[in-house]
Amino acid sequence: MKAAERRSRARSIRGVRAGLISRLIADAIDLAIVALLLFGALVAAGVVMYMLGDGRFRLPRTGPVATVIAYPAIEIAYLSYMWGSRGKSFGKELLGVRVLEKNGHVLRPVRAFGRAVFVTFLGGPSLLWVPFSRRNAAVHDLVLQTEVVHDWSNVSAIAATPASPPAEPVPEAPAASAASGTPSSATPASATPSSATPSSATPASPTSVTTGSL
């Protein structure tokens, strides 16, 4: 598939709710990332011990209790930050899906934290409701009023479009002559008296009185 076709398809499905398979793959990637973060924390602790200890590098020895506590804590912190800042964890970034509130905004920090706690402890059973939901919602989506949609864009937040301010009345454009500062030359109607040519009062020629013959 060409790049133009991929972009066109990504635009066409943007905002469509993601299905179960996409969400499961994204969550599996996130679980692996959390495991890497936990391992990285152990390596960092080993470096600190190496610098402050006897010069031997070794990983801290953690028991199962510490692991059971540390892994969920890292997962909650990771998901809370990613969902509350940009709506995408790394797993969801790779699958092109985003977590949003029902109004289309990125999750607020409190809601992101609550969703992370819910998903960490009950995420698996909760996802089983997705195939039966008309809007592909898991149980935690219904409880926390969230949704997971397809979105490949890199927008970190989706803000509401502000209402446009009322248009100010536009003053009427002044006449061209007033704009140039030249008084309009109101040419008065020509008061030239109409050349009322007096009718030539030609005196009537005296009636020739025909004198009868006597």
Q: Which 3 state secondary structure label does DSSP give 212?
A: coil
Task: Provide the angle, in degrees to the nearest 10, between the axes of the packed helices 64-85 and 109-127.
Answer: 120
Say how far apart CA 152 and CA 57 lie, in whole Å: 42
What would the DSSP string read from start to end of 196-208?
------PPPPPP-
Per residue in 169-181, pLDDT (tens digit) is: 555 555 544 444 4
DSSP label of 87 = S
Residue 100 pLDDT class (50, 70, 90 cuts) = very high
- pLDDT tens, position by position, 6-32: 788 778 889 999 999 999 999 999 999
Which has the closest alpha carbon to 140: 79, 203, 71? 79
Kindly report, residue by residue over 109-160, the tens digit of the pLDDT.
999 999 999 999 999 999 999 999 999 999 999 999 999 999 988 765 444 3
Residue 183 scores a pLDDT above 80: no
Radius of gyration of the chain (CA): 44
- pLDDT for 173 equals 53
Burial 107-125 (b: 16+ CB within 10 A, else e): beeebbbbbbbbbbeebee
pLDDT of residue 168: 53
Angle CA(119)–CA(92)–CA(132) in degrees, nearest 5? 60
DSSP class of residue 53 equals T
Q: What is the model's pLDDT at position 172?
A: 57
Report the candidate in 148, 131, 152, 133 with the shortest Cα–Cα distance to residue 12: 152
pLDDT at 166: 43
**How far from the centroid of its chain's Cα atoms is residue 165's Cα?**
18
pLDDT value at residue 118 = 98
Is the CB of residue 180 less than 8 Å from the CB of residue 173?
Answer: no
Q: What pLDDT is stored for residue 206 in this prediction?
A: 39
What is the model's pLDDT at position 156? 52
pLDDT digits (tens, 9 = 90+) for 37-96: 999 999 999 999 888 887 788 888 888 898 999 999 999 999 999 999 999 999 999 999
Alpha carbon distance 108, 84 (integer Å)? 6
pTM: 0.69
Q: Which DSSP letter does residue 57 get?
A: -
